[in-house]
């Protein structure tokens, strides 16, 4: 397998965690999102992923984009250890939490959105920062409340799920953007638990060969 990603991409970070949890070997192929105007815009990469986003996973003749679709594919192909609970209700809870992050929080602080804010819309850096913090606070506040009903050591009970795989990279982003994380004790406790696991340590942005 080949994983095209960027060391600081939270979406690629999710896939790295899943691959590590399942102890799958893969070639990590860096796509620098800033250098040379963004390598994701190159003709070669655009042919691989027309959305010009990371990650992209190649598994033999299969090419997949979208981190959650990639993780679901890995879950089907390599079901042990599972990253989804067995029963339907708990599985749906894990997926819902993952989608809270992947659909509602992450897209609003994605690189191309931020570049549009300061480019065509001509927002100042201060205004861009206010945008980032506002949407992170909105998303994390509701996520923290949801955890009260379902969390244990991890987001859903005491086993790592898709929700944790999405949460840890988003917290990494939030800290990088300067969000006050003291407001989210449940989130902090879960992230601390996750970061004790080798699968998360090895997937961390600073541990990647293209980290700068």
Pairwise CA distance, residues 94 & 91, whole Å: 5
Does 39 fall in a domain?
yes
Read off the CATH number of the domain in which 26 is found.
Answer: 3.40.30.10
Q: Are 73 and 135 in contact (CB under 8 A)?
A: no
- Whether 192 shows a pLDDT value over 90: the answer reads yes
Q: Are 189 and 155 in contact (CB under 8 A)?
A: no
* Phi, psi dihedrals of residue 59, rounded to the nearest 5°: -130, 100
pLDDT for 18: 98
Alpha-carbon torsion, ordered 142, 188, 85, 58, to 10 deg: 100
End of a domain among 29, 50, 80? 80
Closest among 140, 124, 123 to 181, alpha carbons compared = 140
Supply the DSSP string of 157-177, one letter for each residue.
BTS--HHHHHHHHHHHHHHHT
Residue 67, domain extent? 2-80
pLDDT for 212: 76
Peptide bond into 55 cis (omega under 30): yes
DSSP, collapsed to helix, strand or coil, labels residue 58 as strand
Pairwise CA distance, residues 30 & 52, whole Å: 14
pLDDT per residue over 77-124, tens digit each? 999 999 999 999 999 999 999 999 999 999 999 999 999 999 999 999
pLDDT for 36: 87
Closest among 205, 169, 210, 203 to 187, alpha carbons compared = 169
pLDDT per residue over 20-60, tens digit each? 999 999 999 999 999 989 999 999 999 999 999 999 999 99
Indicate the pTM of the whole model.
Answer: 0.96
Q: Which helix (H) or strand (E) holds 29?
A: strand 27-30
Read off the CATH number of the domain in which 184 is found.
Answer: 1.20.1050.10
Q: Which residues pair with 29 in a beta bridge?
A: 4
pLDDT for 104: 97
Supply 152's token pair: 């244990």
End of a domain among 12, 47, 80? 80
pLDDT for 103: 97
pLDDT band at 203 (very low <50, low <70, confident <90, very high): very high
pLDDT band at 6 (very low <50, low <70, confident <90, very high): very high
Mean pLDDT (whole number) for 178-184: 97
Mean pLDDT (whole number) for 193-204: 98
Number of compact structural domains in the chain = 2
Mean pLDDT (whole number) for 62-87: 97
pLDDT for 7: 97
142 and 159 fall within a common domain: yes
104 and 188 fall within a common domain: yes
Q: How many helices (H) and strands (E) does the chain have?
A: 9, 4
Average pLDDT, the chain: 97
């Amino acid at each position: 397998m080949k994983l095209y990603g960027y060391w600081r991409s939270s979406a690629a970070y999710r896939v790295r965690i899943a691959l590590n949890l399942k102890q799958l070997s893969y070639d990590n192929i860096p796509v620098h999102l800033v250098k040379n105007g963004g390598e994701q815009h190159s003709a070669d990469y655009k042919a691989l992923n027309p959305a010009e986003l990371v990650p992209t996973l190649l598994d033999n003749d299969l090419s997949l984009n979208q981190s959650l679709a990639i993780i679901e594919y890995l879950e089907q192909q390599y079901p042990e250890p599972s990253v989804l609970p067995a029963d339907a209700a708990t599985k749906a809870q894990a997926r819902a939490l993952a989608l809270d992050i992947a659909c509602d929080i992450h897209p609003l602080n994605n690189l191309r959105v931020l570049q549009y804010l300061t480019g065509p819309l001509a927002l100042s850096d201060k205004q861009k920062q206010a945008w980032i913090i506002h949407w992170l606070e909105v998303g994390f506040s509701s996520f923290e409340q949801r955890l009260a009903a379902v969390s244990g050591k991890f987001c859903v009970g005491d086993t790592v799920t898709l929700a944790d795989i999405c949460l840890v990279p988003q917290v990494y982003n939030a800290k990088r953007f300067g969000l006050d994380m003291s407001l989210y004790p449940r989130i902090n406790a879960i992230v601390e638990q996750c970061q004790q696991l080798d699968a998360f340590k090895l997937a961390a942005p600073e541990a990647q060969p293209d980290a700068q």
